């Protein structure tokens, strides 16, 4: 099977398993997604959703995040790891969005990467989930592991993995591929426990015997 045929097969089978191809983070606006994505670094989506419920009730607008004393925002985020730096990134982003982007989260990779605390993975998540734009493929720890096991990349660097996946996947499927690999990585192709026998990709996976 050629690589692009294999990717098409993987997408079809995983879409049959996981009906939703969106982020598990709760949000109502692009800025809330930016906040949730910044908070999600090395934190579970479940915990982020727990914290963001109160946070989004208290802070309604981008200006609310920009104007609040930093210490107050840090206190509101204190149950999240790296909360001091995450609060700084959120407030810095809010100020830049107000000052440079007319209070709206920008819709280009280049502009998003200027925001504090935003690297390619976060920007890809925002572009796809908030605006439906396929600009790249968000590579997190699950995408990295599952793509490697499936033989879709030989690289370990997220930027190189993203490039490999973009080359073999139709652009309109970039966002979906990322989410499907994440779901599959969480449920079946886990880091410590690989449920090969329950896996719908078993017959086409080169790592089924690891
Ligand atoms: S067969 Fe095993 S290693 Fe391959 S994708 Fe499925 S769970 Fe992961």
Any atom of ligand 1 within 6 Å of the Cβ of 205: yes
Asked if residue 172 belongs to a domain, the reply is yes
Please, what is the end-to-end C-alpha distance for the chain in angstroms? Answer: 21
- What span, in angstroms and rounded, lies between the C-alpha atoms of 175 and 125? 8
* The last residue of a domain, from among 131, 150, 183: 131
Identify whether residues 40 and 110 lie together within a single domain.
Answer: yes
Lowest mean pLDDT of 20-24, 51-55, 89-93, 145-149, name the range.
Answer: 20-24
CATH code, domain carrying 105: 1.10.340.30
Between the CA of 64 and the centroid of ligand 1 the distance, in Å, is 45
Identify whether residues 18 and 36 lie together within a single domain.
Answer: no
Identify whether residues 34 and 79 lie together within a single domain.
Answer: yes
| DSSP annotation of 139 | -
Identify whether residues 194 and 119 lie together within a single domain.
Answer: no
Identify whether residues 141 and 107 lie together within a single domain.
Answer: no
Inter-residue contact 77 to 83 (CB < 8 Å): yes
Asked if residue 210 belongs to a domain, the reply is no
Any atom of ligand 1 within 6 Å of the Cβ of 150: yes
Any atom of ligand 1 within 6 Å of the Cβ of 196: yes
Any atom of ligand 1 within 6 Å of the Cβ of 105: no
Between the CA of 196 and the centroid of ligand 1 the distance, in Å, is 5
Asked if residue 182 belongs to a domain, the reply is yes
Asked if residue 209 belongs to a domain, the reply is no
Identify whether residues 124 and 198 lie together within a single domain.
Answer: no
| DSSP annotation of 77 | T
Check if 164 is active-site. Answer: no
Between the CA of 80 and the centroid of ligand 1 the distance, in Å, is 31
Asked if residue 34 belongs to a domain, the reply is yes
Check if 121 is active-site. Answer: yes
The count of domains in the chain is 2
Asked if residue 199 belongs to a domain, the reply is yes
- Whole-number pLDDT of residue 10: 98
Task: Report whether pLDDT(210) > 80.
Answer: no
Identify whether residues 113 and 70 lie together within a single domain.
Answer: yes
Identify whether residues 117 and 167 lie together within a single domain.
Answer: no
Identify whether residues 113 and 152 lie together within a single domain.
Answer: no
User: Structural domain of residue 14, as residue ranges?
Assistant: 3-22+137-204
Between the CA of 43 and the centroid of ligand 1 the distance, in Å, is 24
Q: How confident is the model at residue 3 (pLDDT cuts 50, 70, 90)?
A: confident
* The last residue of a domain, from among 80, 103, 131: 131
Of 6, 63, 76, 140, catalytic: 140
Q: What contacts 98, CB < 8 A, 6 or more positions away?
A: 62, 63, 66
- Can you tell me which atom of ligand 1 is nearest the CA of 195? 7
92-130 per-position pLDDT tens digit: 999 999 999 999 999 999 999 999 999 999 999 999 999
Cα separations in angstroms, 57 against 44, 51, 158, 160, 175: 20, 10, 34, 39, 28
- Atom 8 (ligand 1) nearest CA: 189
Across residues 49-57, what is the average pLDDT? 98
CATH code, domain carrying 181: 1.10.1670.10
Phi-psi region of 151 (alpha: psi -120 to 50; beta: other; left: phi over 0): left
Inter-residue contact 116 to 93 (CB < 8 Å): yes
30-52 per-position pLDDT tens digit: 999 999 999 999 999 999 999 99
Identify whether residues 127 and 148 lie together within a single domain.
Answer: no
Identify whether residues 99 and 124 lie together within a single domain.
Answer: yes
Identify whether residues 191 and 154 lie together within a single domain.
Answer: yes
């Amino acid at each position: 099977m050629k690589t692009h045929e294999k990717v098409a097969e993987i997408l079809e089978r995983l879409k049959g398993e996981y009906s939703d191809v969106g982020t598990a983070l709760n949000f109502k606006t692009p800025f809330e997604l930016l906040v949730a994505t910044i908070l999600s670094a090395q934190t579970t989506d479940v915990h982020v959703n727990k914290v963001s419920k109160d946070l989004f009730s208290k802070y309604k607008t981008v200006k609310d995040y920009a104007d609040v004393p930093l210490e107050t925002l840090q206190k509101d985020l204190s149950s999240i790891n790296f909360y001091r730096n995450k609060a700084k990134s959120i407030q810095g982003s809010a100020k830049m969005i107000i000052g440079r982007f007319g209070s709206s989260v920008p819709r280009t990779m280049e502009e998003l990467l200027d925001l504090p605390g935003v690297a390619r993975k976060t920007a890809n998540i925002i572009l796809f989930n908030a605006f439906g734009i396929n600009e790249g493929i968000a590579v997190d720890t699950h995408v990295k592991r599952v793509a490697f096991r499936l033989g879709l990349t030989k690289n370990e660097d997220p930027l190189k993995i993203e490039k490999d996946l973009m080359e073999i996947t139709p652009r309109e499927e970039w966002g979906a591929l990322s989410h499907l690999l994440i779901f599959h990585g969480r449920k079946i192709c886990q880091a410590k426990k690989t449920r090969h026998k329950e896996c719908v990709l078993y017959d086409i996976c080169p790592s089924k015997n690891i």
